Amino acid sequence: MRLSYLLTIILVFIADQISKWWVVEHMIKPMALPAHEDASAMPFLQWLITVQNQMPFVRIDVLPFFNLVMVWNKGVSFGMFNGDSAYGPLILFCVAAVLVAAFSVWLHRTTSAMTAAGLVLIIGGAAGNMLDRVRFGAVVDFLDLHAGNFHWPAFNVADSAICIGIALLLIHGLFFETKKKEPPEAIPHDA
């Protein structure tokens, strides 16, 4: 795997984790904890390696169409397959690990820059959400877009990277992939 791919995967992973840390530690935690509890922010590196209790739901109104929320997603991106099964996080972690391995092989073999960009975003985002599953048993989702009472499922930076990566793969596959030309059929000779 090229060094630039690896560095970009790490950058996506770190951007996801820093955004989760900042929102949880600096915005959600002070609002979620009772006044008598210590709500001081945990340093990022300590937060990154500490298994913690899940914060309760909190909503911070930012714009008429955007909130910051504290949501624990036990399912996949955008809350799909969100359930309370004890084995759910483990199963989803294993599925994600297999997909990351498969996408890494694909990344190693691709010659397309657009495909590589999509795969790098998917792998980096999946790695960020996988760490959450290990640490919390769920993924930290905090971005809430809404129109009136209709709310798009809460998501995070990793989910965004995964969606953009999938879009790049689809765009490349639909519009830029060169089709292999089939050899012309043999013309029978009359003898």
pLDDT at residue number 115: 93
pLDDT for 79 beyond 50: no
pLDDT digits (tens, 9 = 90+) for 16-64: 999 999 998 888 888 877 776 777 888 999 888 888 777 788 898 999 9
pLDDT at residue number 84: 57
Instruction: pLDDT band for 76, please (50, 70, 90 cuts).
Output: low
Contact 118, 169 (CB under 8 A): yes
pLDDT at residue number 1: 60
Prediction pTM value: 0.82
What are the C-alpha distances in Å from 120 to residues 48, 53, 70, 104, 161? 21, 30, 27, 8, 9
pLDDT digits (tens, 9 = 90+) for 86-138: 666 677 788 888 988 999 999 999 899 999 999 999 999 999 999 998 888 88
Contact 2, 118 (CB under 8 A): no
92 vs 86: CA distance, rounded Å? 11
Report the pLDDT averaged over residues 72-95.
Answer: 66
Q: Which residues are catalytic?
A: 141, 159
pLDDT for 180 beyond 60: no
